[in-house]
């Protein structure tokens, strides 16, 4: 296994370094789920049974650790877009994907902050790759929905992703339940429909 997210050139790790890396990722996922992206890195190191220096050697920044923990989730969200497009009405596929995306941002604490970074420019190579996948997935769904007349033509992909990020934030403030996501998604979809 090669190291991910720390910016170092990919190279095989010694067995003990790999164990430490995996323990840190496991404990970081738990800590971020419990306390969000601001979870204490020192506590994560302690829970993983390593020193803070070991954590920072693998993950020099909090962003590096967040990326390593959530890169797979972001890739799964992007891949889900293609699954939904297959055999579904384009407007329905877009709506289902946006709902799942918003629910994931609420359910997996820390992911919302990372996805916010994914839909902006810049960032690490890992985040750029994730961002490209997410943007491509949104593009495909949005273009199909626009071609089907389900969504206004002037809506841009980045606007859609930012609105979904805002939708997740609003739903989270209103308790973060599925019904909250559904309500805000309905309002969002009504706003992006083409004018009559």
Looking at the DSSP bridge assignments, the partners of residue 2 are 12
Q: Which residues contact 86 (CB under 8 A, 6 or more apart)?
A: none
Cβ(192)–Cβ(184) below 8 Å: no
Average pLDDT over residues 167-188: 88
Q: Which residue has the higher pLDDT, 71 or 46?
A: 46
Q: Which residues contact 180 (CB under 8 A, 6 or more apart)?
A: 170, 171, 172, 174
What structural domains does the chain harbor?
15-60 (1.10.10.60), 70-192 (1.10.357.10)
Average pLDDT over residues 106-131: 70
Average pLDDT over residues 47-73: 90
Which of 188, 169, 170 is CA-nearest to residue 111? 169
User: Which pLDDT band holds residue 119 (cuts at 50, 70, 90)?
Assistant: low
Q: How far apart are CA 100 and CA 94, in angstroms?
A: 10
Q: Could you give the count of Cα atoms lying within 13 Å of 18 in the half-sphere of its Cβ?
A: 8
Which of 1, 2, 3, 4 is CA-nearest to residue 127? 4
Q: How far apart are CA 76 and CA 133, in angstroms?
A: 10
User: Which pLDDT band holds residue 149 (cuts at 50, 70, 90)?
Assistant: very high
Q: What is the pLDDT of residue 73?
A: 82
The helix/strand/coil state of 87 is coil
Cβ(88)–Cβ(129) below 8 Å: no
Burial of 33 (0-12, 13-18, 19+ CB in 10 A): middle
């Amino acid at each position: 296994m090669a190291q991910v997210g720390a910016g170092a050139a990919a190279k095989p790790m010694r067995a003990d370094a790999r164990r430490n890396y995996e323990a840190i990722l496991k404990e970081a996922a738990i800590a971020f789920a419990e306390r969000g992206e601001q979870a204490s890195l020192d506590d994560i190191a302690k829970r993983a049974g390593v020193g803070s220096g070991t954590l920072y050697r693998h993950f020099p920044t909090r962003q590096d650790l967040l990326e390593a923990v959530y890169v797979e989730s972001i890739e799964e969200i992007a891949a889900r877009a293609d699954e939904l497009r297959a055999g579904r009405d384009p407007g329905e596929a877009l709506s289902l994907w946006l709902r799942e995306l918003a629910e994931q941002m609420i359910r997996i604490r820390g992911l919302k902050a990372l996805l916010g970074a994914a839909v902006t420019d810049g960032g690490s190579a890992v985040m750029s790759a994730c961002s490209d996948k997410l943007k491509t997935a949104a593009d495909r769904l949005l273009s199909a929905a626009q071609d089907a007349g389900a969504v206004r033509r002037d809506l841009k992909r980045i606007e859609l992703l930012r609105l979904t990020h805002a939708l997740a934030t609003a739903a989270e403030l209103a308790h973060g339940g599925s019904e909250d996501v559904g309500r805000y998604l309905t309002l969002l979809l009504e706003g992006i429909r083409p004018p009559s």
